[in-house]
Amino acid sequence: MNLLNVVWPAIYVYKEIWQFWFLVIVTIAIETITIRAMLKYSLQKSVLASVIGNIVSGFVGTFVMIWVMLIWHSIFDDIVPRATFDIINWVATYILMCLGSVLIETLAIKLIFKDTIKRLFIPLLIGNALTYAFIAYSMSS
């Protein structure tokens, strides 16, 4: 039970992602546009890169983020005033989950299209940051 307590904010965020499943389509569209504009990929290659990145991130990220959040909470829950559900932990959850998704997507696309992490990171960050911002806004209202 203690294990669940320290990953609880991440579970809430993950639940919201599935509640707003249509955001994955929006994320793919935004990423496709940014990849095409910033990397000069063809439209087909941009869509493929975004779809592959999001599929890999969805499957791998679910398991990776459990461990990332366990590590985060084992370090910081004793420091922040309200422990697991402190606002600092909520913000950290969004940031870590967003950056984790971007990193996983970047690595997947890098392996397939042989591009550099430096070139891929910003276009993928834009799509993911907008998605996580929408989820954060919807959970707070």
pLDDT tens, residue by residue, 26-80:
888 888 998 999 999 999 999 999 999 989 988 888 788 778 877 877 777 777 7
Share of the chain above pLDDT 70, in %: 79
Cα separation, 58 vs 1, whole angstroms: 25
Cα separation, 89 vs 48, whole angstroms: 34
Return the higher-pLDDT residue of 130 and 112.
Answer: 112
Tokens of 66: 């459990």
* pLDDT at 13 > cutoff 70: no
Count how many domains the chain has: 1
Tokens of 104: 């996983």
Domain with 121 in it: 2-140
Per-residue pLDDT at 19: 63
Looking at every residue in the chain, the average pLDDT score rounds to: 81
